[in-house]
Amino acid sequence: MIKTQYAVGVDIGGTGIKGAVVDLATGELVSDRVKIPTPEGGEPEAIAQTVVDIVTQLPNIDETTPVGVCFPAIVKKGITRSAANVSTRWIGLAAEKLFEAALGRPIHFTNDADAAGYAEVRFGAANNHQGSVLVTTLGTGIGTALIYKGVLVPNLELGHMKYRGDSFEKYAANSIREREELSYSDWAARLQIFYNELEFLFSPDLFIVGGGVSKSHEKFLPLLNLNTPIVPATLRNNAGILGAAVLAVS
């Protein structure tokens, strides 16, 4: 149960790190969003310092304000078990403790797709949905989050399911569409295979599609033929910030 009105959310990505103060009741940003490029090489110490730089720029917070940080990795008990578009030194690192030491306060540390997905259920396209919601983010890779009756099932990483000797994200991520210059029709044919697999395995009540390409959802979502409703995400670039902030106090 939320016992405070505001929390800080920080979203760490492969190219940029952004943070803001969030109203936990409404899901609105109550500060400007501060964004700093991710340090080249994505080394742990440099990223931790960048997070400190962001948090110290945020107004109207103190040492009691909860802080949530989301990161592109499998996160178990505060330890990063993978690394995407950052240094491999993150693998096996006690990352939550690293950020707590740098910030001088407790934090909540979570996977970035989990944070974004949780935010969509709390404030976005699946607000107060009581069934099973499977959120997918189509970007450099494919992130996934499963929320059932408001409860997050962490670290699904379904974009890494094996397909054609590699993974689905190496076949159907938006970066692949851009690299191979696929038409939206050809890309949708690849997405159809991915979503068919998700539908068979999880029988969700709703799919939500996020990532920057969701702004162009009308070009590819209508081409998919699924039994499950599929809709675009609504929170866009703020989803990670919102989810990290809410999970910090949930």
Cα separation, 239 vs 148, in Å, equals: 18
Please report the pLDDT score of residue 82 as a whole number. 93
| Chain segment 184-243, per-residue pLDDT in tens | 999 999 999 999 999 999 999 999 999 889 999 999 999 999 999 999 999 988 999 999
Cα separation, 166 vs 163, in Å, equals: 5
Please report the pLDDT score of residue 1 as a whole number. 39
pLDDT(118) > 50: yes
Please report the pLDDT score of residue 39 as a whole number. 96
In this structure, is the dihedral angle defined by the CA atoms of residues 55, 61, 67 and 68, taken in order, positive or negative? negative
Q: Which two tokens stand for residue 215?
A: 């702004």
Residue closest to 154 by CA, chosen among 209, 93, 81: 81
Please report the pLDDT score of residue 237 as a whole number. 87
pLDDT(59) > 60: yes
pLDDT(2) > 50: no
Cα separation, 36 vs 47, in Å, equals: 10
For the chain, which domains are there? 6-114+238-247 (3.30.420.40), 129-232 (3.30.420.40)
Tell me what percent of the residues of the chain surpass a pLDDT of 70. Answer: 99
Tell me what percent of the residues of the chain surpass a pLDDT of 90. Answer: 91
| Chain segment 149-189, per-residue pLDDT in tens | 999 999 999 999 999 999 999 999 999 999 999 999 999 99
